Amino acid sequence: MIPLPRAAAIAALTALSIAATPTPASAGSAHRQHWSAAWAAPMMHPSAAPWFATWAGQGFDHQTVREVVRLGTGGKAVRFRLSNAYGTAPLRLTGASVGRAADGAAVVPGTVRPLHFDHGDSVVVPAGGEVLSDPVPLPVAARDRVALTLYFDGPTGPATYHQLSMTTTYRADGDHRGDTGAAAFSDAVRPGYGSWYYVSGVEVTGGRRVGKAVVAFGESTTDGFGATVDGDDRYPDRLAERLVADGRPRPVLNAGIGSNKMLADSACAGDSALSRFERDVLDQPDVGTVIVSHGMNDILRTGDQICGVDRDDPPVTLQRLIDAHRTLIRAAHARGVKAVGATLMPFGGAPFWTPQTDRLRRDLNEWIRTSGEYDAVADFDLAIDPAGTGTIPDGYHSGDHLHPSPLGYRAMADGIDLDSLQ
Across the range 149-175, mean pLDDT stands at: 98
- 7 has pLDDT over 80: no
Residue 48 contacts residue 266 (beta carbons within 8 Å):
no
Give 338-349 pLDDT, tens digit per residue.
999 999 999 999
Please, which pLDDT band fits residue 213 given cuts at 50, 70 and 90? very high
Please, which pLDDT band fits residue 32 given cuts at 50, 70 and 90? low
Q: Where are the domains of the chain?
A: 6-15+210-420, 33-202
Instruction: Tell me the average pLDDT of the chain.
Output: 92
- 21 has pLDDT over 80: no
- 26 has pLDDT over 80: no
307-314 long-range contacts (CB < 8 A, ≥24 apart) are 307/47, 307/50, 307/266, 307/267, 307/268, 307/269, 308/50, 308/267, 308/268, 309/266, 309/267, 313/2, 313/3, 313/263, 313/264, 314/2, 314/3
Across the range 312-321, mean pLDDT stands at: 94
- 25 has pLDDT over 90: no
Give 257-304 pLDDT, tens digit per residue.
999 999 999 999 999 999 999 999 999 999 999 999 999 999 998 899
- 230 has pLDDT over 50: yes
Cβ-based neighbours of 30, under 8 Å, separated by 6 or more: 22
- 9 has pLDDT over 50: no
Q: Report pLDDT for 294.
A: 98
Q: Report pLDDT for 312.
A: 83
Rounded distance, CA 334 to CA 338, Å? 10
6-15+210-420: CATH topology is: Rossmann fold (3.40.50)
- 116 has pLDDT over 50: yes
Q: What is the pTM of this model?
A: 0.92
Across the range 364-371, mean pLDDT stands at: 98
Give 277-287 pLDDT, tens digit per residue.
999 999 999 99
Give 373-398 pLDDT, tens digit per residue.
999 999 999 999 999 999 999 999 99
Higher pLDDT, 9 or 227: 227
